[in-house]
Each structure stands twice: as structure tokens, then as C-alpha cells.
Amino acid sequence: MPDFKRWLLNAAKFSNDLPQGEFTWSPAKHFLFKRCLRAWYFRHYLAQGGWDLHANDNSMQCYLEKYLTTFHAWIGNVLESAMASALSNIAGVRVEKEREEALIEEMQIHVSTSMITAEQQLSREEYLHDPKKLSFAELHYQTGEFSCVEELLSEAYRQFRLFFELFTDSHLPRLIVSIDPLSWHLPPEHKTFYYHEIPVSLRPWIFAVSRKKLIAFEFRSYPDPEDLTGFSNTEDNTESGLKEKTLATWTASRYREHTTEIHSIRFSGEGLFPRKIIPSQLNSSLVGKSAKEMLKKINHGRGVAIEQFPCTEKAEICLSCHFRGLCSKLGR
């Protein structure tokens, strides 16, 4: 069993290279590495150990900013956790029509509970003392989308109410309850698997394994319906759909004769846009090259320092970065 606390504290010091055996590749790491080296360094290394009272100020600030979320990311996460909670709670309901009604009701209960928790944690700014408590970049950085906690929660209430109006009238509840209740695998299920000898981290999914298929669901919220344009049902470009391809690759390694089918339930204030994706598997060249570039940055025999991780030159990326507070403090 690895000494996790020792690793975190050592990572925060950055006097030595990170042992290769503790490295994992993931789509999120890949895209952050490409967007901004400094943000990648902050999130995956400087933030480690920032929870410790003896950590330096920069690590503690980095740890806090790491856990900032955004309004629309939170909406999607709440809906996804609501579905997982509902499926767990209705496992004993056998009549399909009753299951459909119970699914919607349990999801609504979970969302209501999440709203109450959000109001309590945000009004007290609990995240300033415990960064794992709910916090929003829009409020922390006063970006202008919401003037106060009450305004943000009011908009969240409106979004959730609209979602359930659309969701209830859609085919989705019927599709979900038609799947064998004993076949579901619910988060949190963090998985790591080897792909061409590279350890790959798979984020938690809601999925069922049934009839030679792995059927997964995700919820994603967008501020503008135009953000949904150009979305494809098939993710076959090398760089696109890496998260979905990672799941398909894990499916192939775990259930060799199964196909992967992902139902991406995308939501904006203008409507519900469900899509079915049949992803291809990961490209081994892309993963190998990406992992090699990351390891080259942290395992080169000279230790690791912030000077080796320049921030991006693209202002639009900086404006949406969770670490813009610390980055501004330390200078470009």
C-alpha cells in the first residue's frame, strides 16, 4: 500500500522528481497540459499537500483554487449524482412504471438536498476553511455573472426546475428504468487500468453492463445552446472525445465482447439535448506521446520548479482558469 500522505507532502516540496510508478495519464490531464503548463503543474503537483496546516501559503492557496467549480459544471454534477442516488434508492421497485415515477421523485429529492447544502456552505463561505466544501469561481473571483449567493441559487433553482420539466416529458426516464436494476455500477468507482503499459485513470461513470453492452450516462450543462453546435454522435477524431474513448478502452479490457454506448444528456436554458455516442478506443500513439511529454517535465533529474512551467499566452484561457488568483500573485 503506497504511503499516500508521504507522497502528497513530498510533491508539495518539489525538491525531487516524482517516481514514475506514481504517474497516471487521463484525458483531463492531457488537455490541461496542452492548455497551460503552469495550471497543470498547479493542479497536479503544487496543490498536493495544500490541505496540511504546515504547507506553505502557495500550496494552500493552490489547493483552495483547485476545488473551485463553475456554475454549469456544478449543475451537471448535481444531476449526475442525483441519478446515481435515485438508482440506488429505487433498486427494490420492480414495476417499470412505478420505477419511472420513483426515479424522477428521488432525483428531485437529491437536487433539493443539494440546494439546501449549497445555501448553507456558500452563505458561510465554508470553503475558505475547508476547500472541499462547495465554492464557485464566479463568486470567488467576482466575475460578474452573479452578484451574490442568493442570485446564483435562484438561477440554479430555475435551471433545475426547467430540467425536470423537460426530463419528465422525454424518453430518458423510460430508457433508464428499462435497464436491469441489478446491472448498474454507480460512482464513486475510480478505476486505473494499463493501456500499452501506461497507467490510465478513468473518472467515475454511471453505467450498466447488460446484454453485451456497457451503457453509460452523463449530464452536462451549458450556458448557451450555441455551445452544443458541432456535436457529433461519433467521436472518431484523434483529439475529440478522449473521455468517452477512455471508457470504451476500459470496457474492451474488462468486458472483451461488449460495446460501449454513452448517453450524453446535454442541457441549456433553451432545452434538453440528449445524444447517443458510440465511441472508438484510444489512440495508442496519442496516449504514449502525451504521457512521455508529461513525464519528461517532472522526471529529468533537476527537480521541479515553477520556472519550468510557463503559463499560456492566451488571455481567454487565463480568464477562465481556476488558478488565476495564484498565477497573478506569483507573476507570469
For residue 188, the model assigns a pLDDT of 77
**Whether residue 163 is found in the same domain as residue 188:** no
38-82 pLDDT tens trace: 999 999 989 988 888 778 899 999 999 999 999 999 999 999 999
Kindly state whether residue 88 falls inside one of the protein's structural domains. Answer: yes
For the four alpha carbons of 98, 104, 107 and 111, in that order, the dihedral sign comes to: negative
**Whether residue 129 is found in the same domain as residue 141:** yes
Kindly state whether residue 293 falls inside one of the protein's structural domains. Answer: no
**Whether residue 258 is found in the same domain as residue 188:** yes
pLDDT surpassing 80 at residue 84: yes
Give me the residues paired with residue 221 across strands: 267
Domain final position from 158, 177, 196: 177
**Whether residue 200 is found in the same domain as residue 238:** yes
**Whether residue 107 is found in the same domain as residue 128:** yes
Q: Which one, of 85, 136, 150, 78, lies nearest residue 320 by Cα? A: 136
Domain final position from 134, 156, 177: 177
For residue 224, the model assigns a pLDDT of 75
Determine the Cα–Cα distance for residues 229 and 254; give it in Å rounded to an integer.
33
Kindly state whether residue 292 falls inside one of the protein's structural domains. Answer: no
Kindly state whether residue 294 falls inside one of the protein's structural domains. Answer: no
Q: Which one, of 130, 62, 28, 33, lies nearest residue 327 by Cα? A: 62
The answer to whether 120 touches 153, Cβ cutoff 8 Å, is no
Determine the Cα–Cα distance for residues 68 and 189; give it in Å rounded to an integer.
22
204-245 pLDDT tens trace: 999 999 999 999 999 999 987 665 544 444 444 567 899 999
Task: Supply 133's cell numbers.
Answer: 466544501
Domain that holds residue 22: 4-66+302-330
For residue 20, the model assigns a pLDDT of 45
**Whether residue 151 is found in the same domain as residue 120:** yes
Task: Supply 3's cell numbers.
Answer: 504511503
Kindly state whether residue 291 falls inside one of the protein's structural domains. Answer: no
The string of DSSP codes covering 68-110 is: -B-HHHHHHHHHHHHHHHHHHHTTT--SHHHHHHHHHHHHHHH
154-208 pLDDT tens trace: 999 999 999 999 999 999 999 999 999 999 999 877 789 999 999 999 989 999 9
**Whether residue 104 is found in the same domain as residue 172:** yes
Kindly state whether residue 295 falls inside one of the protein's structural domains. Answer: no
Kindly state whether residue 168 falls inside one of the protein's structural domains. Answer: yes
26-45 pLDDT tens trace: 999 999 999 999 999 999 98
User: What is the phi/psi pair of residue 27, to 5°?
Assistant: -60, -40
Kindly state whether residue 136 falls inside one of the protein's structural domains. Answer: yes
pLDDT surpassing 50 at residue 124: yes
**Whether residue 256 is found in the same domain as residue 312:** no
Domains identified in the chain, total number = 3
**Whether residue 166 is found in the same domain as residue 235:** no
Average pLDDT, the chain: 89
Determine the Cα–Cα distance for residues 97 and 177; give it in Å rounded to an integer.
8
